[in-house]
Amino acid sequence: MRRLQDRVAIITGGASGIGRATALRFAAEGAAVVIADIDRDGGQACAEEISAAGGKARFIETDVGRESDLQRMVDGALREYGGLDILYNNAFRNTPGAAADITDEDWDGTLAVTLRAVWKGSKLAIPHLLKSETGVILITGSVHSIVGFAGSAAYQAAKGGVLSLTRALSLELAPKVRVAAILPGAVKTPGLRAVPADEHAEFLRQVPLGRNGQPEEIASVAAFLASDDASYITGAGIVVDGGYTTH
Ligand SMILES: NC(=O)c1ccc[n+]([C@@H]2O[C@H](COP(=O)([O-])OP(=O)(O)OC[C@H]3O[C@@H](n4cnc5c(N)ncnc54)[C@H](O)[C@@H]3O)[C@@H](O)[C@H]2O)c1
């Protein structure tokens, strides 16, 4: 029996990187997957790849910063697949900038996509997750959720916020719905391009495993957390960082 057989999952930011790898993995584990992303080409390509391999997937164009899009995303999952078991809040925006420099617009835009949308998407999904026997909310945080970095104050604040929100949601939804955050270190995705090369090299020097993670190494943790194998985990932030935060 595949671990997510017949479960219905929404993955935001599912067109690329960690979200894409997780969509492929969830589908291989038997889930029907809604890929919610602003990237129409990437999202459709991911859904087609899953369908071609015999899995179930639909792309729903979604800007998680817009409540009407989030509603359409949830409604679409219900309409296509008749329920909702897993919401994976994974989309993000990272506008670099120190706290002293960042503009109001960049601060608000980063928080809207990286933190507020996690709350709002969860809020819209909760009534449906409560009807599931196996409801799970997953959230992609970051090592930024637990240690400090200079130069990306809004992203840092948002990623700290999502770990706190994970804890709040886990208490509010227990015992019906489990909630967990995944806190990646450096993972080789298109999203990593935003990190300046010298900062990335310095980060990697401090990674005991000595390399970037691969998106599939986050997807495997997401599949575990979404499944009954993680039935006693809620409220946790699972660090997947090659050992970076052990220093
Ligand atoms: N790659 C890393 O090193 C790393 C490290 C720590 C945390 N993370 C986190 O992992 C998650 C995924 O990042 P990734 O590295 O796979 O990035 P990525 O850029 O490869 O993928 C992000 C996806 O989110 C989508 N997206 C952006 N804004 C959106 C919006 N408003 N609405 C819907 N979709 C939107 C993009 O189109 C893209 O498909 C993010 O939450 C990120 O903060 C990544």
Express each pLDDT in 55-79 by its tens digit: 999 999 999 999 999 999 999 999 9
pLDDT at 196: 86
pLDDT at 147: 97
Which atom of ligand 1 is least distant from the CA of 66?
A: 31
Which atom of ligand 1 is least distant from the CA of 39?
A: 37
Which of 10, 12, 16, 66 should be mutated for ligand 1, with most atoms under 8 A from CB? 16
Count of Cβ atoms closer than 10 Å to residue 209 Cβ: 12
Parallel/antiparallel/unpaired status of strands 136-140 and 178-184: parallel
155 classed as catalytic: yes
| Structural tokens at position 99 | 């706290």
Instruction: Give 109 Cα–ligand 1 centroid separation in angstroms.
Output: 14
Q: Where are the alpha helices (DSSP H) in the chain?
A: 17-28, 40-52, 67-81, 104-111, 117-129, 153-173, 197-205, 215-226
Ligand 1 within 6 A of 109 CB?
no
Instruction: Give 181 Cα–ligand 1 centroid separation in angstroms.
Output: 14
- Secondary structure element (H or E) that encloses residue 182, with its range: strand 178-184
Ligand 1 within 6 A of 152 CB?
no
Which atom of ligand 1 is least distant from the CA of 43?
A: 39
Instruction: Give 17 Cα–ligand 1 centroid separation in angstroms.
Output: 7
pLDDT at 193: 84
Instruction: Give 1 Cα–ligand 1 centroid separation in angstroms.
Output: 30
Which atom of ligand 1 is least distant from the CA of 212?
A: 3
Domains of the chain are: 8-239 (3.40.50.720)
Question: Which residue lies with its CA nearest to atom 31 of ligand 1?
Answer: 63
Band of the pLDDT at 191, cuts 50, 70, 90? confident
Least confident of 77-86, 107-116, 146-155, 191-200: 191-200
Share of the chain above pLDDT 70, in %: 100
pLDDT at 192: 87
Band of the pLDDT at 12, cuts 50, 70, 90? very high
Share of the chain above pLDDT 90, in %: 96
| Structural tokens at position 46 | 């991911």
Question: What's the average model confidence in pLDDT over 121-141?
Answer: 98
Residue 195 has pLDDT above 90, yes or no: no
Core vs surface per residue 61-86: b (16+ CB within 10 A) or e: bbbbbeeebbebbbebbeeebeebbb
| Structural tokens at position 191 | 């999203």
Residue 1 has pLDDT above 90, yes or no: no
Question: What's the average model confidence in pLDDT over 136-146?
Answer: 98
